[in-house]
Amino acid sequence: MATASNNIDLRVSLSYSQIITIALPISASLLVPQINFITNNIFLSGLGEKELGAAGITGVFYLIFGGIGFGLNNALQALISRRAGENRINDIGKIFSQGIFIALGIAAMGIAITYFLAPVIFRHTIHSQETYEMCIEFLRIRIWGLPFLYLYQMRNALLVGTNNSRYLIIGTLAEAVSNIFLDYTLIYGHWGFPVLGFNGAAIASIIAEFLGMFVVFAVIHAKKFHKTFHLYNHFHIDKPSAKLILVQASPLILQYAISIISWEFFYILIEHHGQRDLAISNTMRNIFGFFGVFTWAFAATSNTMVSNIIGQGLKEKVIPLINKIVHISTGLAILICIFLNLFPELFLSIYGRDEVFIQSAIPVLRVVSTALIIMSFSTVWLNAVTGTGNTLINLSIEFIAITAYTIYTWLVLEKFNMPITWGWASEWLYWIIMFTFSWLYIKSGRWKSKTI
C-alpha cells in the first residue's frame, strides 16, 4: 500500500501547540499579501483620493475571483486533510492534480468575464465616468494575474492539508518583496523605470504573483513533496476525482463569490456617497485584510484540523477542538480591537491623508474593529462546517447572511442615505448570522454521517 511505502503519518493532535503550529505560518503567509495590498494603497494614495477610491472598487472586483479560488482552495484543503487523517497518501496527489486543472479552467472564465461583462456592469453602476474608465483599464491588466494566483492557492491547500504550513511563507515572501519593489518603481517611475501611475500597481501585482507561484513550486520540488505525495502520477483528467472536487467546491465557490459580489455592491453604494467616503471605506478594507489575517489563519486551521480528526475517526473531539481554536482566535482579536481603538490615528496616518480624513475615518474604524471580534469566532465555526465536508450547508448559511446584509446596506446607504459608519455596521449583522447557523449545525451533530 502507498501508506506503508511512504511511512509517514499526517494525522494531527488536538493540542493548543498543534493549533498554533499550523496557524502561525498561515498567518504569516496571509499577512504578507495584505502588506502588499496596503503598500499598493499607500503608493496609490500619493496619486490622490480618486485613485485610492478606484483601488477599492478594482480591489474588490479582483477579490471576487480570488474568493472563487479561495473556495476551491478550501474544498481541496478539506479533501487533502481528510485523506491525510485517513493516511491515504497516494490519493493526495490525485486530488491536487485535478484541482490544478479545475483552477486553470476557472481562471480562463474569469479573464473572459473581466473583458466582456465587467464594462457593462460598471457602466451602469459607477456614477463617475473617470472612475469607470480607470477601473476598466486597470482590471484588463490586473486580471492576467489570476492563473498565477489560483496555482498559488492550490499549493496552499496542499501544504496546509499535509501539515506543512511552515513552508507557506517562502513563496509569500518572494511575492511581497517583488511587489513592493515593483510598486515603487512602476507607479512613480523610479530608478529608470517608466511612470505607469495607477496601472503600474496592476503590472507589479501580476509579476509578483508569478514569482510567488514559481518560488513555491520550487520549494515543493526541493522538499520532494512531488514524490512524497505522488503529485504528477495522476497528472491527467480523472473524472471521479474531478467530480468529487467540484461537488465539494461548487457550494464554496458560489458562497465566496456571493459574499464578495455583495461587498462590491457595498462599495458601489459607498461610491454614491462621494470620493472621500469611498477612500475611507477602502482604508477600512485594508484594516479588515491586515488584521483579519489572524482570524482567517485560525479559520483555515479549523477547516484542516476538523477534517483531519474526522478522518481519524475522532468525531467526538470536533467541538472541543473548535472551542480551543476559538479561544485563541477571539483572544487575539480582542487585543487587536483594543489597540485600534486606543491608537486609531497611528494606523490611519500611514495613508498620508489630511486631518479631516483621519477624523472622518475614526468612527468607522471603531465599528470595523468590533466587527473583527465577531468575525474571529464566527469564521472558525463556519470553516469547521467546511471541514465536515457538507459544503452545501456553508452555501445555505451564506445565502441567509448575505440576503440580510444586502437589504440592510441598501436601506442604510441608498434608501435613507445614512452615514457610512452605519453602513459598515452591516458587518456585525453578517457575522452574527454566520456564527448562529454554523454553531447550530455543528451542535446538531448532523454532519457525523457525511463522508467525502
DSSP one-letter string for 348-417:
HGGG---HHHHHHHHHHHHHHHHHHHHHHHHHHHHHHHHHHT-HHHHHHHHHHHHHHHHHHHIIIIIIS-
pLDDT tens digits, residue range 236-293? 788 888 888 998 888 988 888 788 788 778 888 988 888 788 888 878 877 887 788 8
Q: Round the average pLDDT of the chain to a whole number and report it.
A: 86
Per-residue pLDDT band for 352 (boundaries 50, 70, 90) equals low
Per-residue pLDDT band for 377 (boundaries 50, 70, 90) equals very high
Per-residue pLDDT band for 351 (boundaries 50, 70, 90) equals low
Q: What is the pLDDT of residue 238?
A: 81
The model carries a pTM of 0.79
The arithmetic mean of pLDDT across residues 304-313, rounded, is 90
Per-residue pLDDT band for 422 (boundaries 50, 70, 90) equals very high
Per-residue pLDDT band for 25 (boundaries 50, 70, 90) equals confident
d(CA 135, CA 351) in angstroms, rounded, equals 21
Give the domain range for residue 268. 2-449
d(CA 349, CA 341) in angstroms, rounded, equals 14
Per-residue pLDDT band for 3 (boundaries 50, 70, 90) equals very low
Domain count for the chain: 1
d(CA 67, CA 253) in angstroms, rounded, equals 7
What are residue 230's phi and psi, to 5 degrees?
55, 50
Kindly state the percentage of the chain with pLDDT values over 90. 31
